[in-house]
Amino acid sequence: MAKMVKNAAGRIVPVEINGKSQTPYQGVGKYIPTGMKAAPPIRSCADYPMDGNKIVGSLQEALEKAGLKDGMTVSNHHHFRNGDLIMNQVFDIASEMGVKGLRWFPSAAFPCHEPLIEHIKNGVVDWIEGSLNGPLGDFASKGGMRGTGVLRSHGGRWQAIQDGEVHIDVAIIAAPTADEFGNATGDRGPSACGLLGFGLADSMYADKVIVVTDNLVPFPCIPWQIQGQNVDYVVALDKVGEPEKIVSGTTQLTKSPDRLYIAELTAKFVKAAGILKEGFSFQAGAGGTALAFALYLKEFMIEAGIKARFIRGGSTKYLVEMLEEGLTDYILDGQTFDLDGVRSMRENSGHINTSPFTSYNWHGKGNFASMLDVVVLGATEVDINFNANVVTHSDGRMLHGIGGWQNCLFSKCTILPIPAFRDRIPVIVDEVTTLVGPGELIDVIVTERGIAINPKRTDLIEATKDCGLPIRTIEELKAEIDDLIGGPPTKPKLTDEVISVVKWVDGTVIDSIFRIER
Amino acid sequence: MAKMVKNAAGRIVPVEINGKSQTPYQGVGKYIPTGMKAAPPIRSCADYPMDGNKIVGSLQEALEKAGLKDGMTVSNHHHFRNGDLIMNQVFDIASEMGVKGLRWFPSAAFPCHEPLIEHIKNGVVDWIEGSLNGPLGDFASKGGMRGTGVLRSHGGRWQAIQDGEVHIDVAIIAAPTADEFGNATGDRGPSACGLLGFGLADSMYADKVIVVTDNLVPFPCIPWQIQGQNVDYVVALDKVGEPEKIVSGTTQLTKSPDRLYIAELTAKFVKAAGILKEGFSFQAGAGGTALAFALYLKEFMIEAGIKARFIRGGSTKYLVEMLEEGLTDYILDGQTFDLDGVRSMRENSGHINTSPFTSYNWHGKGNFASMLDVVVLGATEVDINFNANVVTHSDGRMLHGIGGWQNCLFSKCTILPIPAFRDRIPVIVDEVTTLVGPGELIDVIVTERGIAINPKRTDLIEATKDCGLPIRTIEELKAEIDDLIGGPPTKPKLTDEVISVVKWVDGTVIDSIFRIER
């Protein structure tokens, strides 16, 4: 077991992960990287077909030509979310080829990837390095992987690839439309999923890039969200994904009266704080409460005659309506969360395709996240220092990825609207099970029992002091909630075995996730 | 003086240029690169303004903050062509700052940059590495620079930056529209010049990137042809360029009856050879004859009811008309040559912004140039082995850049329509003054005295044998032309001092340009 140290947040983290030495978290903005970005090999057109036709007969042929072998890293994007039809095939083929010890580096894994558990057990895959949602997270929590998981934000994944922390040998890009040269787009075709931004770094930095499509068009495929100049092979299959499954349970409007109330309080707070003004910007996640928040905000915008300059997506039909009704100039979209988002990206010139490079990468010359006037995010736990958790539950199980969550914390006002309880377990705790977001970046907590403003944000406290909203200290909120339940929750029983770490946006290790009792 | 060797084309080239060792040309497709691409330094958002505002007060302040100092390389794009208003200012400021020994690395220099001659004389700039058109070429031809010029194609410039042959310290991106974060576009604003593709590599690979604009818009500037995530500073000036001057003498339709006839013959050849078919593609340069060719071709397309899949620009009003009349699905445009091209890029969703990466880079996984069905280009000289020259005149003076010319030679059929004489000097010669394009890639020569097909292209010879066009051998053509003039032209008097080299698309040295007698 690797040596453990206490990082700047007081969390115990390993100094080495999967054989690579690590930098412990040093505080927000404290770690300044040195050196040069990673760079892929120089290629020559002499080694590629002059007529531009890179089609090979099958996915297996592409993997063989790409030189897939033991110990390699295979990556993919997750724009099909729970409707991906490619990656299980990839690892089935790898298994048939007799390849062992792969690292799977998806931008996220979903319940549809549960068959990977067998491939971990049989040795084809050693570990998964990426967001683990649902069954794979549960499997990893119990110590099922032969390597340490690494949870990164969307921006952190770009940073890790860009900085050379993760070298991708073979990238698989499932593409709803592509040409034989490898230009590809997600915004059209029978399996249209919107955009392919989570695969952009993969296409730019991987040694070998395979585009898999079910809709070949004559060159040129326009738009070319993925550029054929980065692609080695193109495979045509019958179906690459089920776009209807990109809509998951987390992307539906809440019907809970409590959560609707929290959403309304959040929108009222935004208005009261003076954030709601002409040309402002906001981002709301795709959770049910965040969607409801956007609808309340929309009402206030219409009442006040205010137009946003831009809204950041995950796009949904609610954001698309705002664009089409003229309530914003642009949607800057990183991920379409429903089919209205897909359609809008194809049809509306103001619905803009972004990538983690533009939106979130901390190791660039700025990114979009810090320009947002207000962002509304979820959390599984928050502590009295405003530190927040989004990856583990209070029982210690790792069940969620980070998504863009850490990156979004850099907005000018970060609000977490959360219920006071989940399954009768208080959400405000003394100390978060896993530290994912440092409290200094989290400005406001909104619960059905009141709003707590981070004491650091004296400007927000001042702006809202006479607004009539139920503003309280986080200690008051916590005490009231604990009283109702009869005391603070019991801590989960965890082993001292690290099954995964959480990276901060700069690649440092902010916390460890420990194995739960099996 | 560096050691000289004979390369695979039999040309004498230096093994070292400006202190860097070189690879002599080895033949088409023969040199296969190794190693990794260049990569810029890893940055941190902690070092950039969190609100995204990168505006500094003046160009001088930006250059100072960028750390401009002796011996650095400063680059820019040439989308304003002869209407650039920035680069003379940059070197005037460098002079005031007392900086010496700079290398200027433009994608091309124009007559408007004649004041640079003074900055070379006074030591601010040592040499210019880029296309030298007009007075700067003449100055260099006479040995005026304190370094060896390096002529590269558009694709070769990308290759050189990407492969680390040329490291850019400070890139200047003149932008007709930009936001304070550095997102920039060329397709709109009072100085709209179309696109900024020639500055894309500069923005991605330079240590420091300065966007200079005369049209600041609120974030986000859409489209973001240049991404703010690559930009360090933004400067707002009154005027960055004179777009009316992007139309130069070479982008006007010829009125010469001889050249119109050559253009017509070329179009007839394309038709006779069976190239003109549904879904075909073509590229014609912006010279007067090439423009006339496109108009004749258009007539044939309409007659035959044929639509192109794509046309490659340099766009002009003639290509825009074809797009708007439904004669092509797309214009894939690398450079707008007139204001109709600018307007179309802004307005037409089928008018697509490309870069040398997508179009021309030989050290990628393919590029667009080799997919073209036919390309029509100019030349200053052609020899009896179909080798061609585009950078020097028969008197040895270096007066033109290469542009995309070398890259375009990889099309499926490359045609050079050229007059038999220029100023009573024959254009078909025994041996070109400077070898820029290897004869094996040049398929057809069209003159007013007949058409010569490269003997290697037996398919084209067969396809056109009964077409009734005046097809002859190149030897016959040359003999007839020489007879008319009273013998072959005298060779220019050149010294043995290398004032510039010509790179092939793979970075190897294909030929030397020697100093003319002063």
- Taking only the tens place, the pLDDT of each residue in B21-62 is 999 999 999 999 999 999 999 999 999 999 999 999 999 999
Residues of A in contact with B332 (CB under 8 A): 220
**Given B39, B182, B362, which is nearest A45 (Cβ)?**
B362
* CA–CA distance, A76 with A419 (Å, rounded to integer): 34
pLDDT of residue A424: 86
pLDDT score of A250 = 60
**Closest-approach residue (CA) in chain B for A226:** B358
Domain A51-129+166-246, CATH homologous superfamily name and number = Glutaconate Coenzyme A-transferase (3.40.1080.10)
Query: If 0-12 CB within 10 Å is exposed, 13-18 middle and 19+ buried, where does residue B347 land?
Result: exposed
Confidence class for position B251, pLDDT limits 50, 70, 90: low
What is the distance between the alpha carbons of residues A421 and A406, in angstroms, rounded to a whole number? 23
Give the burial class of B470: count Cβ atoms within 10 A of its Cβ; 0-12 exposed, 13-18 middle, 19 or more buried: middle
A366 and B506 within 8 Å at the Cβ level: the answer is no
- Note whether A358 contacts B332, CB cutoff 8 Å: no
Cα A23 to Cα A185: distance, rounded to the nearest angstrom: 37
Mean pLDDT of B289-301: 96
Secondary structure of B78-106 in the HEC alphabet? Answer: CCCHHHECCHHHHHHHHHHHCCCCEEEEE
Q: Is B103 exposed, middle or buried (0-12, 13-18, 19+ CB in 10 A)?
A: buried
Q: B20: which 2 tokens? A: 């860097």
Q: What is the pLDDT of residues B188-236, one digit of tens each?
A: 999 999 999 999 999 999 999 999 999 999 999 999 999 999 999 999 9
Contact call for A52 and B370, based on CB within 8 A: yes
Is the CB of residue B26 less than 8 Å away from at least one CB of chain A? no
User: Which is nearest to A233 in space by CA: A178, A190, A158?
Assistant: A178
Cβ proximity of B174 and B240 under 8 Å:
yes
Q: Which residue has the tokens 């009266």?
A: A257
Judged by CB atoms closer than 8 Å, whether chains meet at B310 and A363 is answered as no
B42 to A29: CB separation less than 8 angstroms, yes or no: no
pLDDT at A1: 66
Query: Is the Cβ pair B230, A49 closer than 8 Å?
Result: no
Q: Strand pairing of A351-353 and A381-383?
A: unpaired
Q: What percent of chain B has pLDDT over 90?
A: 89
Q: Where are the alpha helices (DSSP H) in A163-251?
A: 200-205
- ipTM over 0.90? The verdict is yes
SS3 state of residue A82? helix
Whether the bond between B223 and the residue before it is cis, its omega within 30 degrees of 0, is yes
Q: CB A366 to CB B36 under 8 A?
A: no
Q: Which residues of A touch B37 (CB under 8 A)?
A: 39-42
* Cβ pair B229:A37 closer than 8 A: no
Residues of B in contact with A40 (CB under 8 A): 36-37
3-state helix, strand, coil in chain A (%, to 5): 30, 25, 45
Instruction: Look at residue B451 in the predicted model and tell me its pLDDT.
Output: 98
Task: For chain B, say whether A73 makes contact (Cβ under 8 Å).
Answer: no
d(CA B329, CA B309): 5
Cβ atoms of A200 and B332 within 8 Å: the answer is no
B217 touches chain A (CB under 8 A): no
Instruction: Collect all residues with Cβ–Cβ distance below 8 Å to B210 and sequence separation of at least 6.
Output: B59, B62, B63, B66, B170, B171, B172, B173, B231, B232, B233, B234, B235
Chain A residue closest in CA terms to B229 = A365
CB contact under 8 A, B50 and A357: no
Q: Tens of pLDDT along chain A (518 residues)?
A: 679 999 999 999 999 999 999 999 999 999 999 999 999 999 999 999 999 999 999 999 999 999 999 999 999 999 999 999 999 999 999 999 999 999 999 999 999 999 999 999 999 999 999 988 889 988 999 999 999 999 999 999 999 999 999 999 999 999 999 999 999 999 999 999 999 999 999 999 999 999 999 999 999 999 999 999 999 999 999 999 998 888 755 667 888 999 999 999 999 999 999 999 999 999 998 788 999 999 999 999 999 999 999 999 899 999 999 999 999 999 999 999 999 999 999 999 999 999 999 999 999 999 999 999 999 999 999 999 999 999 998 888 888 899 999 999 999 999 999 999 988 899 999 999 999 999 999 999 999 999 999 999 999 999 999 999 999 999 999 999 999 988 777 777 889 999 999 999 999 999 999 998 87
- Cβ of B45 within 8 Å of Cβ of A366? The answer is yes
The amino acid present at A442, given as its one-letter code, is I
- The band of B250, judged by pLDDT with boundaries at 50, 70 and 90, is low
| pLDDT for the residue A313 | 86
Residues 425 through 484 of chain A touching chain B, CB cutoff 8 Å: none
Could you say which of 1.10.540.10, 3.40.1190.20, 3.30.1490.20, 3.40.1080.10 is the CATH number of the domain covering B53-129+166-246?
3.40.1080.10
- A42–B48: do the CB atoms touch at under 8 Å? no
For residue B129, what pLDDT band results from cuts at 50, 70 and 90?
Answer: very high
Inter-chain CB proximity B50 and A352 less than 8 Å? no
- Residue A182's region, left for phi above 0, alpha for psi from -120 to 50, else beta, is left
Nearest chain B Cα to A361, which residue? B45
- Cross-chain residue pair B45–A231, CB shorter than 8 Å: no
Question: Which residues of chain B make contact with A370, given a CB cutoff of 8 A?
Answer: 45, 50-52
* Bond prior to B176 in cis (omega within 30° of 0): no
The segment(s) of chain B belonging to CATH 3.40.1080.10 are 53-129+166-246, 249-494
Q: What is the mean pLDDT of residues B333-358?
A: 95
Q: Do B222 and A41 touch (CB under 8 A)?
A: no
Tokens of B247: 């139309």
pLDDT digits (tens, 9 = 90+) for B144-178: 999 999 999 999 999 999 999 999 999 999 999 99
77-106 of A, contacting B, C-beta below 8 A: none
**Nearest CA to A313 among A338, A288, A346?**
A338
In which element (H, E) is residue B212 found? strand B208-213
Q: How many CB pairs under 8 A join A and B?
A: 182
pLDDT bucket at B2, cuts 50 / 70 / 90: confident
The H or E element containing residue A514 is strand A509-516
Pick the CATH number of A249-495 from 3.40.50.1820, 3.40.190.10, 3.40.1080.10, 3.40.50.300: 3.40.1080.10
Cα B432 from Cα B459, distance rounded (Å): 26
Buried-state track A388-413, b at ≥16 Cβ within 10 A, e below 16: bbbbbbbbbbbbbbbbbbbbbbbbbb
Q: Are the beta carbons of B316 and B251 closer than 8 angstroms?
A: yes
Query: Could you tell me if A330 lies within 8 Å of chain B, comparing CB atoms?
Result: yes
Q: Where in chain A is the domain with CATH 3.40.1080.10?
A: 51-129+166-246, 249-495
Q: What are phi and psi of B114, to 5 degrees?
A: -55, -35
**Which of these CATH numbers, 3.40.50.300, 3.40.1080.10, 3.40.50.720, 3.40.50.1000, describes B249-494?**
3.40.1080.10
B303 contact partners, CB below 8 Å, separation of at least 6: none
Q: Which two tokens stand for residue B191?
A: 């100085």
For chain B, the average pLDDT equals 95
Alpha carbons A143 and A147: distance in angstroms, whole number: 9
Q: Could you say which of A42, A50, A370 has the minimum Cβ distance to residue B52?
A: A370
Cβ within 8 Å, pair A365-B52 = no
Interface of B with A in 397-416 (CB under 8 A): 410, 412
Which residues does residue B351 pair with via DSSP β-bridges, in sequence order?
B331
For residue A374, the one-letter residue type is V
A230 at B interface, C-beta within 8 A: yes
Two structure tokens written together for B343: 């307007």
Question: Are B45 and A218 an interchain contact pair (Cβ–Cβ within 8 Å)?
Answer: no
Determine, for residues A32 and B38 on separate chains, whether the beta-carbon distance falls below 8 Å: no
Percent of chain B with pLDDT over 70: 99
- Residues B309-334 pLDDT 10s: 999 989 999 999 999 999 999 999 99
Q: Cβ neighbours of residue B29 under 8 Å, at least 6 residues apart?
A: A44, A45, A46
A158 inside 8 A of chain B by CB: no
Of B181, B332, B506, the CB nearest to A366: B181
Out of A40, A229, A310, the one facing B37 most closely (by C-beta) is A40
Interface membership of B232 toward A (CB under 8 Å): yes
Contact A358 B54 (CB under 8 A): no
Mean pLDDT of B176-182: 98
**In chain A, what residues touch B367 (CB-CB under 8 Å)?**
45, 229
The pLDDT, as a whole number, for residue B53 is: 98
Residue B248 pLDDT grade (very low, low, confident, very high; cuts 50, 70, 90): low
Q: What chain B residue is nearest to A279 in terms of C-alpha separation?
A: B218
Alpha-carbon gap: A428 to the closest alpha carbon of chain B (Å): 29
- Identify the bridge partners of residue A20 per DSSP, sorted by sequence position: A17
Cis upstream peptide for A489 (omega within 30°): no
